[in-house]
Amino acid sequence: MTDEGLYWFVIDIANGFLTGTMIGGYYAIISIGLALTFGVMRLVNLAHGDMLIVAAYLASVILSILPVSPFASLIVVAPAMFALGYLLQRLLLNRVSVQAMEAKGLSPNFGLMSPILVTFGLGIFIAHGLLEMFSSDARQMRNSLAFTAIRLSEDLNISLLRLIFFVIAVVILVLLQLFLRRTHIGRAIRAASDDARIAPLMGISTAHVYGVALGISLAIAGAAGVMIGMLRSFQPFDGPQFLLIAFGVVIIGGLGSIAGSLVGGVLLGIVQVLAGTYFGPSAQLVAGYMLILLVLAFRPQGLFSR
């Protein structure tokens, strides 16, 4: 290898790791809500991707009325998404849970299957609802940061926006961890996740705790939706592609682990960027799925699962 060849090799690898890591933070925020609701109530929320898009549209509507920074829209988007999640769980998903099925005299297995079907249908409903309201034109949130780069060396840059997203991602994950460890409701969420039948003996209402869990899941999805809208354009039917990313991250990192989501996101990001660099853009997706398959084959519980 010539000196110049070696130089570019090092630059490519460094770029892969840097950009991949930045993307990983963004992936973690897209995914953490899915991991949280699965960890707490074994809910596989197939509408998770569509919820990200709902948040993106909500933010873009707010910005069209009030021309503020997209980040400021989170003041409304996050609480609105929390409320949506809480109500969705209390009014709809708690009615098809394991406990609800048992109370109806049905097999608890229905309680595992039904929420998957319900959220699948919900996802379709949301996508078509968005299409009805906003048509299929792609939207985006304009912002001055998208094309700003930080120059690390002559040939190595990172996007300022991605760096900000990474920092926000780490802050959100740390706050979530503190919330789950230090607050009464956080402990109740972990207790209900550990043993939902015994949690009520602690005075814990699982219906409420599950509502809070989906609320937090969607509030974080709100942040992810705003990030999506700042990075790229989005359309009503974009949800499933983000759901796939979220599944990938959760499989790699391991379910129910917050640190695992970050590591899973970062690994997926690095592999995709490197594959894109060496084999062209179309290799990005393939390499991502290869990584997911490898993890499933050799460590199906995920890298961080206990």
Q: What residue ranges bind another protein (CB under 8 A)?
A: 99, 102-105, 181, 184, 187-188, 190-191, 194-195, 197-205, 306
The nearest distance, CB 305 to another protein, in angstroms, is 12
Using the minimum distance from each CB to another protein, give the nearer residue, 107 or 148: 107
Using the minimum distance from each CB to another protein, give the nearer residue, 142 or 181: 181
The nearest distance, CB 188 to another protein, in angstroms, is 5
Signed CA dihedral, 219, 225, 226, 228: sign only: positive
The nearest distance, CB 100 to another protein, in angstroms, is 8
Which contacts qualify for 158-165: CB closer than 8 Å, 24 or more apart?
158/18, 158/19, 158/22, 159/19, 159/22, 161/230, 161/231, 162/19, 162/22, 162/23, 162/25, 162/26, 162/231, 163/22, 165/22, 165/25, 165/26, 165/29, 165/227, 165/231
Task: Please list the residues that pair with 156 across neighbouring strands.
Answer: 153
Using the minimum distance from each CB to another protein, give the nearer residue, 128 or 181: 181
CB atoms within 10 A of CB 185: 14
Rounded Cα–Cα distance for residues 88 and 164 (Å): 31
Using the minimum distance from each CB to another protein, give the nearer residue, 61 or 112: 112
The nearest distance, CB 39 to another protein, in angstroms, is 11
**DSSP state letters, 131-191:** HHHH-S--B----TTTT-EEEEETTEEEEHHHHHHHHHHHHHHHHHHHHHHHSHHHHHHHH
Distances (CA, A) of 301 to 173, 194, 257: 21, 17, 11
Using the minimum distance from each CB to another protein, give the nearer residue, 76 or 90: 90
The nearest distance, CB 258 to another protein, in angstroms, is 14
The nearest distance, CB 103 to another protein, in angstroms, is 3
Using the minimum distance from each CB to another protein, give the nearer residue, 103 or 175: 103
